[in-house]
Amino acid sequence: MTKINKFEMRLSALSENESFARSCVAAFCLPLDPSIDEINDVKTAVSEAVTNCIVHAYNGAPDKYIDMSVTAEEGGRLTVTISDSGCGIEDVEQALQPFYTTKSDEERSGMGFTIMKTFMDELLVTSQKGRGTQVSMTKYFRGARNVDSRTDSSTD
């Protein structure tokens, strides 16, 4: 049976927590033996998701929370889920487009989701206007996905 290790945390939606959040995930995934580049990919993607919560979901309001749930599966699959209860995204497909931003006056690059998508292997964004957004990202370390598909034909 595959060994599964999990951690969950709730943190205030403050930008000074970004460094803490990405470092936590990086430290947690070390037993999966990722390469340095893979760790950096995960750190960057986590930073993007947490920034989105602070800047977009809560628009800088300091008394809000971000929930993180991280799962490490033996064999090298890491899943990070980051949720907020903020304003939600009206059109997720549009938000995922490169350079799309609702805050162009603030020097925002509009590349947050593009980086998450490029740096992780899977990205799933679900959102409800006025209720919040959940971003779920998966990374397969050192080609773990290929091993999975050889041994388990039920995965897609």
The residues annotated with a catalytic role in the active site are 48, 52, 108
Closest approach of Cβ 72 to other proteins, in Å?
21
Cα(104)–Cα(28) distance, integer angstroms: 35
Closest approach of Cβ 55 to other proteins, in Å?
6
Binding other proteins (rule: CB under 8 A), the pick from 10, 12, 15, 62 is 15
* Both tokens assigned to 130: 């006025």
On the CB side of 29, CA atoms within 13 Å amount to 31
Binding other proteins (rule: CB under 8 A), the pick from 51, 71, 102, 136 is 51
Are the C-beta atoms of 10 and 78 separated by less than 8 Å? Answer: no
Binding other proteins (rule: CB under 8 A), the pick from 28, 34, 43, 89 is 43
Q: Cα separations (Å) of 103 from 99, 100, 134?
A: 11, 9, 20
Choices 3-11, 115-123, 133-141, 145-153; region in contact with other proteins by CB under 8 A: 115-123
With binding defined as CB under 8 A, does residue 141 bind other proteins?
no
